[in-house]
Structure 1
Amino acid sequence: MNNNLFTESPFKTLISFHKLIENLEEIASTNVDYRSNYAKALLKEIELFPEFRDGIEDLNFIKQHEALIHNLLADLFPTALTHNEIKAISIPFQNVTFNYSERFKKILQSAGMTFDMEIRDFEEDQFYIFNCILILNAYYGQHFDFNRPLFYDIPSVNGIMNHYRILYNADFIEIIPTQNAPVLSQDDIDILMNNYDNINLWKEKFPNESWILKGFGIISLIDVTRENAISNLKSNLLKSESSQNKLNLSFESIFRSIFKIADLRIGFIIYNEEEEKFTNPPHEEKEVKSFILNGLEEMDCKNTIYGCSLEALLAEKKPIIISDIEQFSKIPGNARLTQHLLQQNIQSCIFAPVIKDDSILGIIELVSSKPKELNTINATNLDLILSYLIDTLERYKTDMQNQIEAIIQREYTAIHSSVYWKFRREALKYYQTNSPNKDYIFKEIIFKEVYPLYGQIDIKGSSEHRNQTVKEDLKNQLTTLIQLFENQKSNESLVLLEQRIFELQSFDRELESPLKADTEQQIQNYIETEIHPILRNTKMDIESEMVRQNYFESLDEKTGMFYQARKKFDTTMSTINKKLAAVLDKKQIEAQLIYPHYYERFKTDGVEHNLYIGASIAPTKPFDNLYLHNLRLWQLQTLCEMEIEHHQLKATLPYELDVTSLILVFSSPISIRFRMDEKRFDVDGTYNARYEVVKKRIDKANIKGTKERITQKEKITIVYSHNAEENEYLKYIKYLQYKNLLESNIEQFEVEDLQGVSGLRAFRVKVINNNLESYTQNNTYQDLLNEQN
């Protein structure tokens, strides 16, 4: 007989009642008449069917004699307990069950005809090995503990998943070896004991159907739905965010099992105590809907639909429990809350605060579409689970705080990952030595003997372009206003209109001259205070009214002025900066593999970057000048790639802007110090300040003896001081020319003297903008040496 879910078993199974029949024979021989007579009558009835004693292989036999089997098992299945016990006849670990108690029958009927009862998380290899262990314990007298909890998950008719712990009674089972069963020694048993996962070994010692399992077992189920749901809740909460979100839709099924409410819905909101606001969980948990917020991102606790009810929740830290929304609506002051809940098909609800150390972390929301489903009695079930939610929310808030700190560090401070170790070491010393009675003096963070690399890609003529777009918007707005006033047909306030037209024309003429610092502010203030009130309060004919309406629709919401030309310029600037910064950041990940170095980037009218490389930044790694040369070559290549990215981007931009690129070479090592007051790194010492002076002024410098800027569009300018630097960068340029990244012509000139700095020289070379394939390969300093060799 093979009624298992699995294809192989060490057992050939025979359902037999021989032990029960032997027990009946003993009762029949006693002097207790009613017991004896009952046993004799039953034995006479089953005597006609030797299968009851010898073994049943065909399950159809059981179906045919269902009533007789029920009478035979009457002592084991008392009628008085049939509506309480969940009980049936079964074979351990096998999918054979019959002779159900009445309560068991109702559970299966509720699950539906299509339900197939299987043991949870029970695999074929486990089934085989468990049967083998059954043989070891019953036949060989071993005492292996394999009492792993087994469960059935059985749904109810209303969709709630119920969980039942399985208990087996094997008193009526006999295990018999066949001729094919190998005899095991103690050494064999010891080997099996140490090789639980070796299924082939178990099958070798217990071949398929080499033993007979004769008899029957009794299966009893214990409803552990609530305990199992709480266990699942704990498991889900303990899982990392990478494997599962803290709050997800599976929580609804867990809570439904705990509360036994089929349509129970779960929501959650976080309480921000500092701002006194309710907020949604972060984006990864947006599957959880808040019924209080109902689509809003946040809500001020002092101005919500709850009114005084919410104040009680926050002040008294007690749950709000509404068992019947309709009855609740009859209480004065509850109309808004009632409407808010009914719109979401909520008829009963519980809003319970999650509290840690007398502070509210958030609110768990339980709602049902049926009245009285949620009430003060079943609200006590929250006591079983709130402690786990508290731990999870506290952990979540700690994680959130750490992430916020990480974002602040990444976006708002200059603590790059390459130097973070030194800050961490100082913080650790403070943590280990600090005490309430002792002031700790933080050591300055200094990195000595580092080589600086500075580069920038700048928007050419950005100030002129910005002023031009400002003038264009102002002139367009003034022209529109002048036309609007001149077309005004009304004679009311005619003198005033003429005066305003004259003033607008005066401003328009003023814009023909170079834009002054306060011109824009003056015109904006005049239009807002003098012109707009007239436009809003003057009656106009239909034609003028349309013009006026179009004018106001053309105004920018934030500034109240025309913003069309400036918007194109600002959008272009933002797009260029974002794209070039993304290229630089992406290439920086590769550059860190050359040698760990400090990196910082700034968006201005373009993108600037500072690099510092040296042994003090990565003291655990040996430093060599080869790494500096590699990084310099990387920097030159990266600026080439940023130039080509801009060239490709130009055609898609709403405003045409060119860029210029520059590298400042400085071969003397310097020291950098973290300025605690400014929260950033800066050069340290008077001599090193020369480097900063050059950095700030070099991009505006001219070629010596001319009025021509040292930077030009689509060209990279390399500024240096010494012959060694000249020779080094000539190698880089010629190598990149060989790689078809730079054009063959090299301009070489002196740079005009800057304040306190003289003797600077420069190269200028054009980038080849139409050779995209060349930018897909990263060339290293070693490649350069190989080419030279």
Structure 2
Amino acid sequence: MKMDCSKEICTPLIARISFHKVLEKLEEIAESDVDYRSDYAKALLRHTEPFPELREGITDLALLEKHKLLIKNLLADLFPTALTHNEIKAAAIPFFNITFNHTERFNKILENAGEDFDIEIRNFDDHQFYVFCCCLILNMYYGYNFDFSKPLFYDIPDAEGIMKHYRILYNADFLEIIPTDKAIKITQEDVDILIDNFDNLELWKEKFPQNSWISKGFGIISLFDATVENAISNLKSNLLLPNEFKEVIKDDIESIFKSIYKVPDLKIGFTEVNEDDQVFTMASFKDVKSHILKDCEEMNCNKLFCDSTLKNMMGEKQQLIISDVEAYRTNNPEDTRFADRLLEQNIKSCILAPIIKNDRMLGFIELVSSKPKELNSINAIKLNYILPFLTDTLERYYSELQNEIDAIIQNEYTAIHNSVYWKFREEALAHIKAGNNPDLAYKEIIFKEVYPLYGQIDIKGSSTARNESTEKDLIRQIEKLIVLFRFINEIEKLPLIEQHTYELEKIQDDLKHELKADTEAVVQGYIINEIHVLLKHFDTTNAKIHERISEYFESLDGKVKMVYENRKDFDDALSVINKKMAEVLDKKQAEAQSFFPHYYERFKTDGVEHNLYIGASIAPKLSYNPLYLNNLRLWQLQAMCEMENEYHKLRPTLPYDLDVTSLILVFSTPISIRFRMDEKRFDVDGTYNARYEVVKKRIDKSYIKGTQERITQQGKITIVYSQKQEEAEYRRYIKYLQHKNMLGKTIENFEVEDLQGVTGLRALRVEIIYDETDASGTYSYQDLLKEMTTK
């Protein structure tokens, strides 16, 4: 086999294995006065004399095998026989995967690895190899002192398949670097460039052409077993990777633990712990087994362990170390159930170590072996170096799991209120544990026997105000275009320009009459698809025309490409109103949750609507009482008064003078609500409960029976109900709020016109008393608008 490395790999060095420095040293000893040393040296020199290649350099690897015994004798001082079973050592060419004259221990390691094993440096690619060889030349020939070394390792499996990790150290005392006629002289300027361009391989090849230097001699490679230290380092690196923990466990951690513990059949498991419920739970890691649970999904802790063991494991958060499971079963009959569970899995020794983060127990990491005594209290100490990394990774995993659960809830359901979040989390977690099977349908969420509360603050006249703002903007834009087209016509004199001027004037006349439902869309489509396309054509015909067209386009809104001034004022005003009302309601609602958890949702339209649902099924772990419904009804009425007051303070600053009306719908019959997957929202469940939805959707536009007067009025709250006891209940609330000077003294009572399929509704209407004393609480519209646009 030829050792022409230049043909196999790209390198600036031609490697020639030579023992010339050893022979030169022997020649010195042969001339010395120490007889036994001199005689020994002379004898070696006589044996090597017929083989000049030992001095001049070997390029044929077959010669190494031929002169194996002679080379061993030449290197005897460097490889003492007394240390051959202890040291892991060989002669080598630095960075090349060429080694020879191994110590007995090195030979044994290579034999155990198997005949098919090829030894090579870990993570050492061709780029690094080339640059390292160049740095070797710079240091040894030019006298630089570049610290180019990095920790280099051989990964070699032992006879049982456990991967061992050996740190590589090189000694180059018997090596010299010689330039060939291809070598380029390296200047200080070259070095200054090279030190800033490690990644520029072509630059290194330019300064150190392939096969332009000779490495003559040999190096000495020494290995030391760094398996534990390196395995821990690898574990740390792998755990820091952004891949899922279950994949890390599956592919890497178990083999790393085997290297650390030197236990070939060692297996890793993990069991989650719910401390609140004292339950062991199967983790959602796809391929990670729980040896505690075996085949169960979850189990109460006290069904497996006795009280004293549980106290140590859960209370004291101590490791459970069993070096001999069979002996443990005999000596601890109170834990027979757990010992039997282990023996059923052929586990004869184990370590269960708690994973704790911020005083919260995440679960137990399980190390198990089929052999007794393999895992014990002595080697359990190694976990002290490993657990911090595992703990951080598991904590990160659970944080990501929470995000994944939230994502499923967000994507498959909606942004869910905290009061019912537990139900959605339960379903999302079950889906994750099932492997996120796309064919597995997401269950619909239903809450039965809940009492609904509905309220709204509606912006009265918003449609009219919106139409007015739209009309003003369209008229303004048409005026701009007419002026622009008349200017273009003066220069170009084209019939097409005259035609579009005529059409724009016709639109201008039409806009002065009532705005139809489709007028905005028709006019906007005409302007964008015809007028703007035409203007872009004329934009390049004349400098003056270009200037005027540019001025026109700059006056438009950048997003909608239309005049958007009045509509923007209206939209911003509506957004400010909705934002302020929703903000007040959300803040009040957060306080109301402390009474009793209930579902809450609100919607921004031309105003703010809200739905509340309260009942035992919303919070099944708490004791429900009807007084919580009464309390929430009073809270809702008071909150609506406060929202009206907030709008009263905001109204003087608005660019549009808009009225608001307030409405509450009372419904005393419990209903069921179902989460509609397609609509991503809750709705009443079943035809029996549909009456409530019919009333809710139609009531705000209803009239007092027998009149043309709407049931809602500006400055008043309307309470719609159907039962006599509901009226009595709300009159009590009104009386209380009259006492607090929030509602006026006059209470109107009237029948509501019949709705489709719904009759017999009545209503109370009472005036709101606005608080005029708190002048400091008046809002600035501009401040609110700024706040809205910066969030």
Q: From the superposition, tell whether residues 409 and 704 of structure 1 become closer, same or farther in structure 2 (CA, over 3 Å).
A: closer
Secondary structure at the aligned position of 1:299 is classed as: strand
Q: What's the counterpart of residue 199 of structure 1? A: 201
Equivalent position SS for 2:116: coil
- Establish whether residue 223 from structure 1 lines up as the match of residue 221 from structure 2: no
Gaps of at least 5 residues in structure 1 are 417-574, 582-603, 614-622, 634-665, 706-749, 758-789
1:239 to 232, 238, 241: 241
Aligned positions of 1:115-130 closer than 5 A: 115-130=117-132
Q: Kindly tell me: are residues 373 and 695 of structure 1, through their superposed partners in 2, closer, same or farther at Cα, counting changes over 3 Å?
A: closer
State the partner residue of 1:264: 266
- The superposition leaves residues 23-48 of structure 1 with CA deviations (integer Å, 9 ceiling, x where unpaired) of 11111111111111111111111011
**1:262 match: secondary structure:** coil
1:68 paired residue among 67, 70, 77: 70
The alpha-carbon deviation at position 374 of structure 1 amounts to 1.2
> Is the CA contact (8 Å cut-off) linking 2:91 and 2:219 kept in structure 1?
yes
Using the alignment, how far apart are the partners of 2:309 and 2:444 within structure 1? 48
Task: Show the counterpart of 1:589.
Answer: none
Deviation at 1:54, TM superposition (A): 0.5
Conserved in 2, the CA contact under 8 Å of 1:6 and 1:124?
no
User: What SS is found at the alignment partner of 2:211?
Assistant: coil
The match for 1:354 is: 355
Query: What's the CA shift for 1:261?
Result: 0.5
* Partners of 2:88 and 2:103 within 8 A in 1: yes
Shift of 1:412: 8.2
Tell me: CA distance 1:186–1:317, structure 2 relative to 1, closer, same or farther (3 Å): same
- Superposed, 1:383-782 pairs within 5 Å as 383-398=384-399, 669=574, 671=578, 672-673=581-582, 674-675=585-586, 676=589, 677=592, 679-681=600-602, 682-683=608-609, 688-689=660-661, 697=695
Deviations 1:427-450 (A, max 9, x none): xxxxxxxxxxxxxxxxxxxxxxxx
RMSD of the TM alignment (CA)? Answer: 4.4
Q: CA deviation at 1:237?
A: 2.0
1:4-403 aligned within 5 A: 6-241=8-243, 245=247, 247-281=249-283, 283=284, 285-305=285-305, 308-331=308-331, 332-356=333-357, 360-398=361-399
- What code does the residue aligned with 1:338 have? A
| Structure-2 change in CA distance of 1:233 and 1:691 (3 Å) | same
Q: Is the 8 A contact 2:174 2:219 kept in 1?
A: yes
1:248 is paired with a residue whose SS is helix
Residues 611 and 305 of structure 1: is their aligned pair in 2 closer, same or farther, counting only changes over 3 Å?
farther
Amino acid at match of 1:353: P
CA distance in 2, matches of 1:91, 1:624: 83
Tell me, in whole angstroms, the C-alpha distance in 2 between the residues paired with 1:698 and 1:302.
51
Secondary structure of 2:39 counterpart: helix
Partner Cα separation in structure 2 for residue 384 and residue 698 of structure 1: 63
Q: Given residue 41 of structure 2, which amino acid in structure 1 is its aligned partner?
A: A
Structure-1 separation of matches of 2:118 and 2:207: 32
When residues 700 and 688 of structure 1 are mapped into structure 2, their CA distance, relative to the original with a 3 A threshold, is: closer
* Residue of structure 1 equivalent to 2:612: none
In structure 2, how many angstroms separate the alpha carbons of the residues matched to 1:199 and 1:274?
A: 59
- Over 3 Å counting, the alpha-carbon distance change for 1:205 and 1:336 in structure 2 is same
Asked if 2 retains the 8 angstrom alpha-carbon contact of 1:269 and 1:364, the reply is yes
CA displacement at 1:244 relative to structure 2: 7.3
- Residue pair 2:26, 2:41 contacting (<8 A) in 1 also: yes
The structure-2 alpha-carbon separation of the partners of 1:624 and 1:102, relative to structure 1 and needing over 3 Å to count, comes to: farther
Conserved? CA contact 2:457–2:661, under 8 Å: no
SS in structure 2 at match of 1:121? coil
Quick one: distance in 1 between partners of 2:442 and 2:346?
50
TM-superposition CA deviations, 1:372-395 (whole Å, max 9, x none): 211222122112212222333444
Q: State the AA in 1 paired with 2:375.
A: L
Q: Supply the distance in 2 between the matched residues of 1:298 and 1:279 (Cα, whole angstroms).
A: 4
Structure 2 Cα separation of the partners of residues 365 and 576 of structure 1: 33
**DSSP-derived class of the 1:333 partner:** helix
Are the aligned partners of 1:413 and 1:680 in contact in 2 as well (CA < 8 Å)?
A: no
What secondary structure sits across from 1:263 in the alignment? coil
Answer whether contact 1:348 1:369 (CA < 8 A) is retained: yes
* Aligned-partner residue type, residue 327 of structure 1: A
Partner of 1:330: helix, strand, or coil?
helix
Deviation per CA, 1:369-419, whole angstroms, max 9, x where unpaired? 112211222122112212222333444455556666788889686679xxx
After superposition, the Cα gap between the structure-2 partners of 1:612 and 1:354, relative to the gap in structure 1 and judged at 3 Å, is farther
AA at the equivalent of 1:292: I
- 1:308 is displaced (CA, Å) by 4.0
Q: What SS does the corresponding residue of 1:88 show, helix, strand or coil?
A: strand
SS at match of 2:250: coil
Shift in alpha-carbon separation, 1:9–1:577, aligned structure 2, 3 A: closer
Q: Deviations over 1:462-490 (max 9, x none)?
A: xxxxxxxxxxxxxxxxxxxxxxxxxxxxx
Change (3 A) 1:224 1:49: same
Deviation at 1:313, TM superposition (A): 2.3
Q: Distance in 2 between matches of 1:612 and 1:89?
A: 89
- Cα 1:577/1:399, change in 2 over 3 Å: closer
- The CA distance in 2 between the partners of 1:165 and 1:44, in whole Å, is 38
What is the letter of the counterpart of residue 89 of structure 1? A
Comparing 313-322 and 45-54, the one that deviates more = 313-322
TM-score with structure 2 setting the length: 0.55
Q: Which moved more, 1:392-401 or 1:270-279?
A: 392-401
Alignment check: 8 A CA contact 1:169 1:217 kept = yes
Output the CA distance in 2 between the equivalents of 1:213 and 1:703: 96
Alignment coverage as a number of residue pairs: 488
Change (3 A) 1:77 1:576: closer
Distance 1:4 1:177, change over 3 A: closer
- Cα gap change, 1:7/1:315 in structure 2, threshold over 3 Å: closer, same or farther? same
AA of the residue aligned to 2:294: N
Q: Is the 8 A contact 1:409 1:415 kept in 2?
A: no
Inter-partner Cα distance in structure 2 for 1:168 and 1:86: 12
SS in 1 for 2:352: strand
Report the 3-state secondary structure (helix = DSSP H, G, I; strand = E; otherwise coil) of the residue aligned with 1:385. helix
Deviation string 1:601-626 (CA, Å, 9 cap, x unpaired) is xxx9xxx9x9999xxxxxxxxx9999
Residue 718 of structure 1 aligns with which residue?
A: none
Q: Which runs of 5+ in 2 are unaligned?
A: 419-440, 460-468, 475-516, 522-569, 594-599, 603-607, 610-639, 645-658, 666-691, 704-753, 764-791
8 Å contact from structure 2 (residues 293, 299) kept in 1:
yes
Q: Could you tell me which amino acid in structure 2 is paired with residue 173 of structure 1?
A: L
Contact 1:234/1:388, CA 8 A, preserved across alignment: yes
Shift of 1:326: 2.5
Deviations 1:74-94 (A, max 9, x none): 000011111111000110111
User: Greater CA deviation, 399-408 or 94-103?
Assistant: 399-408
Identical amino acids, percent of aligned pairs: 50
1:104 to partner: Cα distance: 0.4
Q: TM-score, normalised by structure 1?
A: 0.55
